[in-house]
Amino acid sequence: MIKVHITMTPARIFRFLVFIALFLGIGGGIGFITNPDKTDFYDTLIKSTLTPPGWVFGVVWPVLYILIGISAGLLFEKREHPGYHTARNLFTIQMMMNWGWSFVFFTLNLKFLAFLWILALIVLVAATMYSMRRLTHAGVVLLIPYLIWISFASYLSGTIWWLNKI
């Protein structure tokens, strides 16, 4: 049996809460700005039969942002490690790509670019996880649901592009 001892000081808890609030705030803000309910674009698209109802996205993304925030906090704790800067840079780039996808798809209505964008995001998240592997195993594990979700989202995005080619 492996025993893990985790020390949670008030400062550490506060740091995690800041990271969680940051990711929830930015993700929620972008979701509000690019909300598909504000336009007819999304409603007019032919979608996969596997497309979940809209409320599922409203549940899944906050959970993912909490996990991503904790992962970012764990990574931040390793800022003195030689591999930190590469992992941090990849983490930052993949988050910018994540947040940018909504604008590409919902605001600009660029279905094919959104599909390519999310494929690139998958590669960046996998590279981020790989770069974090020696810094924080728990941080990598916390990103697995995110990688799975965006992989499914890439299927949805690709299906929308394919079924709505004009």
Note the pLDDT tens digit of each residue in 107-155: 999 999 999 999 999 999 999 999 999 999 999 999 999 999 999 999 9
Is residue 74 within 8 A of residue 139, CB to CB? The reply is: yes
Report percent pLDDT > 90 for the chain. 85
* Predicted pLDDT of residue 35: 82
Q: Give dist(CA 150, CA 42) in Å, integer.
A: 18
pTM above 0.75, yes or no: yes
> Looking at this protein, which amino acid is placed at residue 67?
L
Least confident of 31-45, 56-70, 72-86: 31-45
51: DSSP letter: P
Domains of the chain listed by start with CATH number: 10-163 (1.20.1260.100)
DSSP string for 70-116: HHHHHHHTTTTSTTHHHHHHHHHHHHHHHHHHHIIIIIT--HHHHHH
